[in-house]
Every structure is written in structure tokens, then in C-alpha cells.
Amino acid sequence: MLTGLSALEATDWSRLLHAYGRATDAPDHLRALVEGDESARSAALSYLGSAILHQGTPWTATGPVTCVLAGLLAEPRLDSGGPRLRVRVLAFLAGVVEAVGDRWASRQELERMARYDLAPLLDAGDDDALYEDEEAADALYATSLLGCARVVPLLVEPVLASLDHPDTSVRAQAATTAAQLARVPEVFGEARRQALVLRLTALAQATANTDERSTLVLMLGELGVAPTAFLEDASPAVRVCAAMAKTLATNEAATRELLQALEHHAARMDDWFTVRPPPFEMRPRFYVLERLLERVEDCDRLLPVAVALVRVTTRSFVDQEWGPLLAAAFPAGDGQVRTDAQRRFLSELVANADLWEPTFGNPGRWFLKAGLPYQRESCAERLQGA
């Protein structure tokens, strides 16, 4: 199968769709990645994330674009835009692999849906009809996913080759994309997965860059490895990333690492990273807390973390921080303040005036789940009663 610019030239883009219509604009954007100026490259990257893989949804153009990008990864010209360009391309490809991996188990159903003949509708040029007919819309989606599935194997070699790139951020993103590929056994295979584990371990041990080592350790966890040795790393960022491995869910040292990191460093954790690991699309502490709440249900044990976070959080972080903590503090859902830990946590919430805004709707569902009113005065009165 052709890749790179050869695949671009051999593709009839007028028969392909992206989120905003026919993909006839794809060739110019793809060429810009290796031939364009900074403005054109930036526009091309935006195009990939908005039109070609729109909010994680693939289109019939997504597979052919992926095929082109698989070849461009071997192009030295892709480095002309600096490491950020190659990082963004690898991140886009990770999104394509994720979309395929999430639906791989339903491949037979997708093949059944894709049997619907879309050619008459494409020939007619009435793209709206593709979405008005339920069978046609299902076939379009199935065809898009299957098209991606066919080309994803082409990514394995160029992505693995990117692990040798001289830039640490490129290697980190390549490790993340490779870990996504490893989630699709039919594409990657167990022998290759084991080889990837050995390679990421060696890279993590060799690199002096803590950002890169943090990502590599995170990916080892994603690959099912227990990165116990990295719990002793000199960097708190690396230790936390190691502790987040699901294979260490019952490891007391790992749980202690997560508890101590959030209790003592919640306000400064973001500063541990110059370049955040690719999986941390938002604040790193959000992901650390999410993993901790999966492991610890004891409200007394969570209290120091809860207090530390409530003192540095903001209203807009309710869904990532103080909302889940509220639900964990009141698991019965009846709003009754029975323990000292519940009283102290609710007191901290009441004390932070920034968290209470009657017109802000997001906290409502968390307070409802806890059995409490999202009203500062009412919660203060409940504390007095308790």
C-alpha cells in the first residue's frame, strides 16, 4: 500500500468526506506539512484535528490521510517545522489508533453496516442525503472506521522508528502512540508488545529528561507493566507516574506516593513538568486524583488530600476535583454528617467562598449525589447541627 506523498497523488479525494464536506482540500494541507511555511503548517495541523478527526470521530478521508502521514513520518522535511510539528502529527495518529481500538471488537458488525452502497449518493453530490438516511449514515461511519483499521498497521514501523528521534518530546509522543497501537493485539502482536516494553524501559532508564522519563513510565503502566523500580526515582514526577500504573493498584507504596503528592504538592504539581506527558491534557493532579479515588475509599485516609485540594481548587474544577471528592466523602448519598472527616471536608468547602455560585450548574449533580444542597448557608447550618 502506498504511503506519503505517493499515496496522496494516487487518492481521489473528491470521493472522500471529512467533518465539513468533501476532502478536496486535503492534498494542499498535507503537502504543507513538509513543503509549507509556518502559517500553512499550523493551518494543516488545525485541519487534521478539526476536519479529519473531528472530536475523535473518523471520516472516510481519515484512513487515506493516515496513510499519507505514515509515509511523512519518514520525511526529514517534517522536522523543518521544529519538533512540535512531528509531535502533533504523532498525536493525531494516536487519536486515529484510539478510534480504531475502541471499536475493533465490533468489526463484524461494522462490515455488515458498510455493505450499504454509498456510491449513488456520492455520485449525486448530495452529501446531506448521506446523513438523512439512517442506513447511509451508519454505512458512512462504518466505512470510515474500517478504512482506518486497514491502514493502522502501516503506522507500526514509522512510529517505532520515531522512538529514536533526537528530540525528547518527539520520543515521548512516539511512546504514547506506540502504546495505543499495542492496545490493538491484531495490529501489534504480543511479541512486538514485549519488545516495546523492553525498549521503553531501556529508554526510561537512560534518559536524563524527567518529562520524557515520566511519559515512558506512564506508558509502561499502560502496557500492563508494574514499574516498581521507578517508585524510587529521584524525581517526584516520575514516582507519581509510576505509582499511577494500574498494575500497582494494590501496592501500598504506590498508593502512599499518590496520597503524599496530592497532600503536600497539589499547588505545585503542574510545575514538575516543563512539557507535560501527552496523556495529561489537563492539569496533572486531576489524573492523579482520579487514580487515587479508584484505589482508596476510606474518607479518613483521603481527608488530608481533600483538604489540600479544596484550598487550592477553583469553582471550574468541580468535575475534576472537589466534586468527585464530595461524592467520595458522602458515599451513602444521604447528606448526613456522621464522621469527623465528613465534617472537616464540608467545613473546608464552606470556607472557600469561590466555590459557591448559585448560577453555576456543574456542582449541582455532585451535591445531589452526596445528598446535600448546593447552598453555602444550608451546608453551614448542617455542620452546626452535626
**pLDDT digit string (tens) for 8-40?**
999 999 999 999 999 999 999 999 999 999 999
- Global confidence as pTM: 0.91
Q: Which of 103-112, 218-227, 369-378 has the lowest mean pLDDT?
A: 103-112
Q: For residue 386, is pLDDT > 70?
A: no
> Rounded CA gap, 302 and 289, in Å?
10
**pLDDT digit string (tens) for 255-264?**
999 999 999 9
For the chain, the domains span 1-188, 207-296, 300-386
- Give, in degrees to the nearest 5, the angle at Cα 56 between 51 and 61: 45
> What's the mean per-residue pLDDT of the chain?
94
Closest-CA residue to 139 (of 121, 155, 154, 160): 121
* DSSP annotation of 228: G
> Rounded CA gap, 367 and 135, in Å?
42
Q: For residue 163, is pLDDT > 80?
A: yes
pLDDT at 58: 95
pLDDT at 343: 96
DSSP string, 22-47: EGGGHHHHHHHHHHS-HHHHHHHHHH
Q: For residue 339, is pLDDT > 80?
A: yes
Q: At what angle do helices 363-370 and 322-329 cross, to 10 degrees?
A: 10
**pLDDT digit string (tens) for 113-153?**
999 888 988 888 778 888 888 899 999 999 999 999 999 99
For residue 242, the surrounding DSSP H or E stretch is: helix 236-243
